[in-house]
Amino acid sequence: MAQAIEAHDLVKTYAGDVKALNELSFSVQQGTVFGLLGPNGAGKSTTVKILTTLSRADSGSATVAGFDVASQAEMVRRNIGVVQQGTTVDREATGRENMRLQGQVYGLRGRGLENRISELLDRFALTDAADRIARGYSGGMERRLHVAMALINQPSVLFLDEPTTGLDPEVRADMWTEISRLANDQGLTILLTTHYLEEADNLASQLAIVDRGRVVAEGTPEGLKADLRGDAIHVELAQAEGNGHVTGALAELGGIREVAVDGRTLHARADDGARAVPVVLQALESRGIDVASVSVARPSLDDVYLRYTGRTFDKAEAEAGEKSR
Amino acid sequence: MTVTLRHSWYMTVRHLRALWRQPAWIAVTLVQPVIWLLLYGALFKRVVQIPGFQGGSYIEFLTPGVLVMTAFFGAGWGGMPVIDDLNRGVIDRFLISPVHRVALVTGRIVQGSLAVLVQSAIIVVLALITGAHYRNGVGGVIVMIFLAMLLAAATTAWSYGVALYVRKEETLIALMQFLLLPLTFLSGAFMQLSLVPGWISTIADYNPLNWAVEAGRSAAMKHTDWGFVASRTGFLLALLAAALLFATRAFRSYQRSI
């Protein structure tokens, strides 16, 4: 079984003709960390709900850990762990009680269960807080408890739905460390959804960019960025110049593409940004154009998103925010 | 089956533990039936003087009424913590685990039934002290409490199902406010039905709360009619089965909509 998750043409329409998924397909290799990246409302959570058997697709099919999510839901459930958006721990119970109930419903009991609980609490640095009511936990502790609960049945596929949304930056960094450690677990496949570009970039070995219920691009973060071919060069001019004058200066240079001038800012793309900078500066100087500053940036996932969807990630997020209001 | 029972018990433990940690809830739960029994007992004391009243002392007449009313109200609000669980995603977490859906409902039912049992014991003892006489002894009292628990179980399951459909606390509160008191007064809980307007006693015939009150009274007090007790027990069992089916279907509808 090489594929831990396979989704084929998933379609889901909510009441009021809201199309959440529009023939969404992707597959996840066993033992990898797969990121579903997209703005809020792109369909990531709906995908997770279908793959974890909580919800059903209108059409299309999917398998998780080799079992069909519709016809073999019971087997899927036994083989997955899920950390849903927000946290779903019982705040009126202690950490240990939460863990125990979660273990019990998977059929674990007695000494074996208690040992597993202690081991997981220890692993997620919750031993000291284990017998305190979860209501008093910090956001980070609650999230760690949730991950520990999701691992109680030793799942082969772990779903993390927006695992760091709502966490402070430093707590988020801790969570990233935890997730990276999980990724080293033997054979564990992780499906991570996120609307943080850096998070996908940092954690996922494979990535699918989701937009309006479809996968618009799939690959490794590096591969997706490499597909954009080249670094972005931004030149800040000392004063506004005629656009033709500036572009003309760079027209004959080899390896400099996509030259665009916007007021005093010049954008261009080159295969090797660092090498292109002196050439660009020389060409501008020879035409008497003064330069205030230069910067070179590796292509970011934001650039990737822009290329495949035609809008920047921030703009898509803002649109989603307006829609949900 | 055994797995479902075991899961129900795990859920029961979860609910009982949460309540156990709320001393205020425990205090109110224990004191409320006492207040109802004493308050209604004093308020309607003169009812026994109405010609045609056959109940003996009013406390004796009232005891099954307060017992069933207490069980009914507690169970009617049973959907409230369900909405809290829904909002927190706790229900979602259980729905994608191997837990059987029915166990989620029966866990609440068992917890509610245990509360009814404790409340009923308080009412029964207090009524005994204030002059009620149980003609059929302990056996009759047990049947009366069992009927109250049966009504509570069915009501909890209905409330659970409704919570899954409406998913909003305000809606559930409005609905329960609308139903609980009228159903209580459209019954023989406080007044002998032969002394109320005909339309009320007609409605009462179809009111599950009245089944529990009249059958409980018949089992524990004067004028025992075991055939009547058996038929009303059957009605309540059928109601419980229908309510469980309704709640299970409500899960399906909830999962389709998300």
- Please report the pLDDT score of residue B132 as a whole number: 87
Q: What is the pLDDT of residues B142-197, one digit of tens each?
A: 999 999 999 999 999 999 999 999 999 999 999 999 999 999 999 999 999 999 99
Residues of B in contact with A86 (CB under 8 A): 88-89
Chain A contacts in chain B segment 18-57 (CB below 8 A)? 18, 21
Residues of B in contact with A91 (CB under 8 A): 88
pLDDT at A325 exceeding the cut of 70: no
Q: What is the pLDDT of residues A36-61, one digit of tens each?
A: 998 888 899 999 999 999 999 999 99
Closest-approach residue (CA) in chain A for B4: A105
pLDDT at B77 exceeding the cut of 60: yes
- Please report the pLDDT score of residue A288 as a whole number: 85
Closest-approach residue (CA) in chain B for A134: B18
**Partner residue opposite B92 with nearest CB, options A84, A90, A101:** A84
Chain A contacts in chain B segment 97-136 (CB below 8 A)? 97-99
Distance from CA of B92 to the nearest CA of A (A): 7
- Could you give the percent of chain A with pLDDT greater than 70? 98
- Please report the pLDDT score of residue A322 as a whole number: 65
B92 close to A (CB below 8 A): yes
Report the candidate in B88, B87, B81 with the shortest Cα–Cα distance to residue B156: B81
Residues of B in contact with A53 (CB under 8 A): 96
Which residue is listed with tokens 């998750």? Answer: A5
Q: What is the pLDDT of residues B94-138, one digit of tens each?
A: 999 999 899 999 999 999 999 999 999 999 999 999 888 888 889
Chain B contacts in chain A segment 35-54 (CB below 8 A)? 49, 52-54
Count CB neighbours of B72 within 10 A: 25
**Partner residue opposite A54 with nearest CB, options B3, B18, B96:** B96
Residues of A in contact with B102 (CB under 8 A): none
Which residue is listed with tokens 């909003």? Answer: B168
Q: What is the mean pLDDT of residues A51-80?
A: 96
Q: What is the mean pLDDT of residues A183-200?
A: 88
Range with the poorest average pLDDT among A88-97, A125-134, B219-228: B219-228
Q: pTM to 2 decimals?
A: 0.86
**Partner residue opposite B99 with nearest CB, options A86, A88, A105:** A105
Chain B contacts in chain A segment 249-278 (CB below 8 A)? none
- Please report the pLDDT score of residue B55 as a whole number: 66
Residue B22 is encoded by which pair of tokens? 């709320």
Residue A5 is encoded by which pair of tokens? 């998750």
Cβ neighbours of residue A149 closer than 8 Å, sequence gap 6 or more: A89, A98, A99, A102
Residues of B in contact with A133 (CB under 8 A): 21
Integer Cα distance of A293 and A204 in angstroms: 34
Q: What is the pLDDT of residues A200-253, one digit of tens each?
A: 888 999 999 999 999 999 999 888 887 777 788 888 888 877 777 878 878 777
- Note whether B204 and B193 are within 8 A (CB): yes
- Indicate yes or no: CB of B256 within 8 angstroms of CB of A84: no
For A27, A276, B65, B133, the CA distances from B137, given in Å and listed in that order, are 69, 100, 18, 9
Does the interface ipTM go beyond 0.85?
Answer: yes
**Partner residue opposite B258 with nearest CB, options A54, A86, A97:** A54
Q: What is the mean pLDDT of residues A294-311?
A: 79
- Please report the pLDDT score of residue A323 as a whole number: 59
Integer Cα distance of A255 and A269 in angstroms: 8
Give chain A's mean pLDDT: 89
**Partner residue opposite B14 with nearest CB, options A52, A54, A90:** A90
Report the candidate in B249, B247, B213, B257 with the shortest Cα–Cα distance to residue B65: B213
- Note whether A50 and A57 are within 8 A (CB): yes
Report the candidate in B164, B96, B253 with the shortest Cα–Cα distance to residue A51: B96
In terms of DSSP bridges, do strands A256-262 and A189-194 run parallel, antiparallel, or are they unpaired?
unpaired
Range with the poorest average pLDDT among A62-71, A302-311, B10-19: A302-311
Give chain B's mean pLDDT: 93
